[in-house]
Structure formats: structure tokens, C-alpha cells
Amino acid sequence: MPQSLKKGEVLRGRYNIREQIGQGGTGSIYLAEDTRLQGRLCAVKEVEHNQSLPTQFIEQAREQFFREASVLARLDHPNLPKVSDFFSDGPRDYLVMDYVPGKDLRERILEARHNKTFLPENEVLRWTAQLADALNYLHQQDPPIIHRDIKPSNLKITPSGVIKLVDFGLVKILAPNEVTITIIQGQGTALYTPLEQYGGDDAHTDIRADIFSFGATLYHLLTNEPPAEARKRFLDTRSLTLPREINPRLSARVEKAILWAMSLHPDDRPKNVIEFKEALFGNQEIPDRADLQRSGYEMPSFTLLPQEQIAGFAALALFVVGLFATIWK
């Protein structure tokens, strides 16, 4: 997708674009200076809607963008960037939030790999406590908010050591009886995405999707290796290497908690992020089967889900059919 804003361009008569700092399938993220508040830098998220869609769907998508942006603007938590503005300019919508300086955790992983070492477990757990508090804050909103794209590159650590969960590009407001329309959403990043999130934007994922992504992110942080995708694990549970086979210094408790969070079936995961946090710190009992989930000793029980999650597993079935069709060509 080509860059739509150029360096030096002033958006809405206020935001002086410095450079593009990110890009995705639905638009770009820019570093900008707020000309009304001298010295304030902000991140401007651009959302470009699929113009091939019927006009009705584009209008619905834009309406939902403004509903969700207004909810995000009310959030106030030390581990979340503050959303300060949102608006439209021509066919594009924009979300303005605090710019978070510092490295993201993907960079920290790459540094650890380069140095042939692992990030210290105690340090990662300090970050974990902050992230858990931020997610619990989102999940406790009315209606709950799920981030849907937790991954190392969306976690930045400020020079003062504060973790910030950035990029609300896949945010979903869990409004009852409401179908989510594609706005800034997608499927998430495959390495950290649970099976139920592959059902499309109308799949009724819940807070346990964030718990899976949280666990997959910790797996990557503590092993320097990304976990096997959930779709691959569905076909072969042995495809997920146990974290301690990669990092022998990792405690058995933390390994077991991570595997619990990464259970393929949502019902087999911690019921909320606080329960997961307590398991990581040894204050919550972990089901005995949690450490068997990846290994093939015990195949996850895929009992039929309520109707709202059938779409997710139907999409998985189509993926499997397509895979074997390719193999048999």
C-alpha cells in the first residue's frame, strides 16, 4: 500500500508529519508533531477502507470506526497510549495517540538472539505484570475490549521501564448482538493468533483470545523463537516445542502457565488474565493437563462450541481441506 502522507504535510491543520513509522494492510502509522502543543509528538494511525466494497458497507465501517475510536479515547491507563483525537480526511480515517519512545520487545528478542542469550525470566515477568494490568483494564470495560493483536512488536518499553501496549489496529468492542464489520480489523498476526480468531470479523472471539496471544508472546520472549501457529498445532500437536527444551533456564512453573494460556480450545485456557498472571507468579493452580497440550500425549477435546464460535472453526476446516487439496494435486 503506497504511503499517502508525505514528510512536512500538515494533517487537519495540526499534525505535521515527520515520517512513516509503520505500515499494515489497512494503512500506515506516522510520527507527527502536534503544532498546537509545542514539542508533543504523536502517532497517527491511518485507516483506508476497502473502496471495492459496496457504499453501504463502507459507511457502516466508518460509523463503527468512530464508535470504537470514541471508546478508546475514554481509556486512561499507564500502560496504554492515550488516544487524543480521531477524524476523517477524504476517504481515510485517522486515530491520533501518544507516541511511545523506546524499543519494542521484538527488538529486545533480536538483541538477545544476537548475543546468544535469553531475556531474564524475572525481567520478562516484570513486563508481564504491567501487560496483565493493562489487559485486565481493557477486559473490565463495559462492554469489554479485546486487543486481538498482542505480540512483541506491539509492546514498547519506555526509557523509564514502563511497558506500553500499542497499536489498537485490531481492537474489538464486545457489544452484545452486534456483528463486527471490517474497519481496521484483520485476522491478527498468525504466530500469536488463536484458532477461533480465524473465523473472520464476525467470529465472536472473547477475552480468552487475548490470553492465547499473551501466552504466545511470552513464549517468544522467553525462548527467542516464535511458537508454531495454532493451525499447524491443530494438525499436529507435537509441532509446538516445549519452551524449556529451547531455554533450559526457564522455570517449570512459567512454562506450564504459558502452555495453559496457549491451549487450542478457549475453554481450556485461564478464564481471565488475572488468573493467568497468578499462575505465572505461582499463586494459581494450573490444571495438570496444561503441560500436555502441545505434546501429542493428549489431543485437545474439540467439543462443539456455542453457535457464535462455529464460524471460527468452520474457517479452520476450510483451511485443512485446502491444505490437503494442495498436497493431493
Based on the domain organization, do 32 and 112 belong to the same domain?
no
Based on the domain organization, do 299 and 151 belong to the same domain?
yes
In a domain, 5, yes or no: no
Based on the domain organization, do 127 and 257 belong to the same domain?
yes
In a domain, 224, yes or no: yes
In a domain, 170, yes or no: yes
Q: Supply 272's cell numbers.
A: 481471565
Q: How many structural domains comprise the chain?
A: 2
Based on the domain organization, do 58 and 74 belong to the same domain?
yes
Q: Which of 69, 98, 127 is the last residue of a domain?
A: 98
Residue type, 210: D
Based on the domain organization, do 144 and 45 belong to the same domain?
no
Per-residue pLDDT of the chain (329 residues; tens, 9 = 90+): 556 789 999 999 999 999 998 876 667 889 999 999 988 999 999 988 877 888 888 888 888 888 888 888 999 999 999 999 999 998 899 999 999 988 999 999 999 999 999 999 999 999 999 999 999 999 999 888 888 889 999 999 998 999 999 876 545 555 444 433 333 344 457 889 898 887 654 456 799 999 999 999 999 999 999 999 999 999 998 899 999 999 999 999 999 999 999 999 999 999 999 999 999 999 989 987 655 545 333 444 444 444 444 445 455 555 544 544 443 44
Based on the domain organization, do 91 and 194 belong to the same domain?
no
Q: What pLDDT does residue 12 have?
A: 93
187: domain CATH number is 1.10.510.10
Give the domain range for residue 85.
10-98
In a domain, 1, yes or no: no
Q: What pLDDT does residue 71 have?
A: 86
Residue 157 three-state SS: strand
Nearest alpha carbon to residue 244 among 229, 230, 263, 257 = 257
Residue 174 three-state SS: coil
Q: Which of 68, 98, 128 is the last residue of a domain?
A: 98
Q: What pLDDT does residue 203 have?
A: 53
Residue 57 three-state SS: helix
Q: Which of 98, 131, 158 is the last residue of a domain?
A: 98
Based on the domain organization, do 182 and 118 belong to the same domain?
yes
Based on the domain organization, do 229 and 108 belong to the same domain?
yes
Cα four-point dihedral sign 279, 194, 317, 310: positive
Distance, in Å, from the CA atom of 139 to the CA atom of 136, rounded to the nearest integer, reads: 5
In a domain, 305, yes or no: yes
DSSP state, residue 309: G
pTM of the model: 0.80
74: domain CATH number is 3.30.200.20
Instruction: Please say whether the beta carbons of 125 and 266 come within 8 A.
Output: no
Based on the domain organization, do 124 and 257 belong to the same domain?
yes
In a domain, 139, yes or no: yes
